[in-house]
Amino acid sequence: MTEIISVNTFWTLWLLVHLVLAVSLLGALTHQAVAVMMPVRKVAGPGGFVSRFRAVPAAGYATAVCVLWLLTFFVGSYIYIKYRTFIRIPLEQAHYYKTQGFFDFKEHVATLGLVLLPVYWYFWKNAHDAEYDTPRKTATVLLAAMCWFLFIVGHVLNNTRGFGS
Amino acid sequence: MNTSANAGTGTAATTKTSTTRSTSSTSSLAASAKFRTFALTFSTSAPVIYIACLFFNWPLFTFHPVTNRLVFGWEGPRPGESGTGMVASKRNLIVIAAIAGGMLWIERGHRITIEIPPAEVAGSAAAACPENEDLPHSADCFNFLQGNVVSEVSERSDAVQSKLASPELGPACSSNNENVPYSASCLGFMFGWFRQANPENTP
C-alpha cells in the first residue's frame, strides 16, 4: 500500500471516510431530532425552510442512524491507532491538555451513544406506541446532541493537529 | 401531502401532514418482547457498567506494543516493556458485560411453575369426588383422579365394565342367595367365558 500512496495519505483518506460518515449521521440525526421536537402538523400555504426541514419521515431514519453510528465508530476506532501515537503525544508535549481532554471525553460519549442504539432503534420501530413517545424523543435528542458534540470536538482536534501535520 | 384548489375564490391551500409515528413496526425483531427486554436492559446497564469500568480501571485486555503482547484483563508492563503506548481496552468489556446482562434478564423471564396449585383450585377439583368410597364416583371425579389423562388401561377397563353390564348377558349371579343353582351366565362370570367343563364329571 505504501508504494501507491504515502502513509499520511492513507490515514488522511480514512479520516475523510470517517468525516463523510459523521456528516451523514449528523444530518440524519438533526433532521430526526427537529422532526420529533417540532413535528409539522398542518400548514396552510407553502411551508418555509424550517417546515420543510422538519417535515421528514423521521421513523425511516432509525436504521440508517444505527448503521451510520456503527460505521463511524469503527472507522474512528481504526484511525484511533494513528491518533494515539502520532497526534496525542505531540499534543501532550505542546500542553494542549484541554483539547486532548475533550477528545478523551469524546471517546466516552461515542461509546455511550453506541450502547443507546438498541433501545433507540426499538423505540422508533415501535413509533405507533404512544407509551414510547417521551423516551423516543429523549433518546433522539440526546443522540443528536452527542453527535454534534462529537463532530465539533473532532473538527477542532483536526484543526489543532491533523494527520500529516 | 394533500393539495386542493378552491376554484370559487381562486386561492390554493396546501395542507401538509407529517407525524413522527407514521411508520409502524415492520420487523419481527421490533415486535419481539425478548428484544424489548434485551434493548432496555442493555441500554440502561451498559452506561453504568462503562462508568464503573472507567472508575475502577477494568479493561478487557491490555496491549503492550513494545513486545506486541496482548494480555487478558489489566496487566502492567514487565521489565523491558516500560514506556508509553500501553493500551487498555475498556469498551469491549462493557459491551460484553451489557450483552450478557441483557441475555440473563431475558432468561429471567423463563420460569417453570412447579408449585402446588392454590387451595381454592385444588378444593374445587377435589369436590368432584365423594367423601365416602361407598358412593358412586362421577366422571369428573375419575378425570380428577386420573389427571384428565385417559390411558389405554383405563380404556380397556371401561370396555370390560361396559361388556359385563350389557343387557345381553343378563344378570350375573343372584346376590346373597346360595339356595338356587348358578346359571350359565353366573358360572361364566365367575370362572371366565372360556371355561371348559370337566368331561369326567359331565353326566
Does B39 contact A35 at a Cβ distance shorter than 8 Å?
A: no
Q: Residue A68's closest CA among A154, A163, A143, A159?
A: A143
Query: B105-108 contacts: CB < 8 A, separation 24 or more?
Result: B105/B37, B105/B38, B105/B41, B106/B34, B106/B37, B106/B38, B106/B41
Q: What is the pLDDT of residue B88?
A: 58
- A159, pLDDT greater than 50: yes
**3 state SS of A96:** coil
Name the residue among A44, A51, A116 with its Cβ closest to that of B15. A44
Angle at B73 between CA B71 and CA B78, to 5 degrees: 50
Angle at B102 between CA B60 and CA B46, to 5 degrees: 50
Choose the mutation target among A115, A126, A133 for the interface with B, i.e. most B CBs under 10 Å.
A115
Name the residue among B13, B43, B94 with its Cβ closest to that of A118. B43
Interface A–B counts its CB contacts (< 8 A) at 101
Name the residue among A40, A59, A115 with its Cβ closest to that of B16. A40
User: Which grid cell sits at B63?
Assistant: 496491549
Express the helix, strand and coil content of chain A in percent, nearest 5 each. 80, 0, 20
Name the residue among B29, B35, B43 with its Cβ closest to that of A116. B43
Q: Residue B33's closest CA among B105, B97, B112, B111?
A: B105
Chain B: closest CA distance from residue A123 (Å): 9
Among A residues 37-56, those touching chain B with beta carbons less than 8 Å apart: 39-47, 51, 54-56
User: Which grid cell sits at B92?
Assistant: 469491549
Alpha-carbon gap, residue A18 to A21, rounded angstroms: 5
Q: Where are the beta strands (DSSP E) in B145-189?
A: none
Written as one letter, the residue type at B166 is S
Q: What is the ipTM of this complex?
A: 0.77
- B7, pLDDT greater than 50: no
Average the pLDDT over each of A11-20, B3-12, B162-171 and give the range with the smallest value: B3-12
Chain B: closest CA distance from residue A83 (Å): 12
Name the residue among A46, A115, A127 with its Cβ closest to that of B46. A115
Average the pLDDT over each of A32-41, A82-91, A139-148, B172-181 and give the range with the smallest value: B172-181
**3 state SS of A165:** coil
For residue A128, report the phi and psi dihedrals to the nearest 5 degrees.
-75, -15
DSSP string of B15-80, one letter each residue: E----TT-SPP-SHHHH-HHHHHHHHHHHHHHHHHHHHHHHHT--SEEEETTTTEEEES--PPPTT
Chain B residues with CB under 8 Å of A35 CB are: 18, 20
pLDDT band of A66, cuts 50, 70, 90: very high
**N-to-C CA span, chain A:** 21
By C-alpha distance, the chain A residue nearest B36 is A122
The secondary structure of B97-108, three-state, reads: HHHHHHHHHHHH
B144 touches chain A (CB under 8 A): no
Enter the pTM of the model: 0.59
A57 touches chain B (CB under 8 A): yes
For residue A53, report the phi and psi dihedrals to the nearest 5 degrees.
-65, -40
- A164, pLDDT greater than 80: no
Alpha-carbon gap, residue A81 to B87, rounded angstroms: 10
- CB-CB contact of A43 with B14 (8 Å): yes
A85 touches chain B (CB under 8 A): yes
- CB-CB contact of B19 with A35 (8 Å): no
- List Cβ neighbours of A49 (8 Å cut-off, separation of 6 or more): none
Alpha-carbon gap, residue A123 to A139, rounded angstroms: 9
Q: What is the pLDDT of residues B69-128, one digit of tens each?
A: 788 878 877 776 665 455 656 566 666 766 777 666 666 665 555 555 555 555 555 566
Does A115 contact B43 at a Cβ distance shorter than 8 Å?
A: yes
User: Which grid cell sits at B78?
Assistant: 514487565
Q: Residue A63's closest CA among A71, A51, A55, A52?
A: A71
- Highest-pLDDT range among A48-62, B40-54, B140-154, B161-175: B40-54
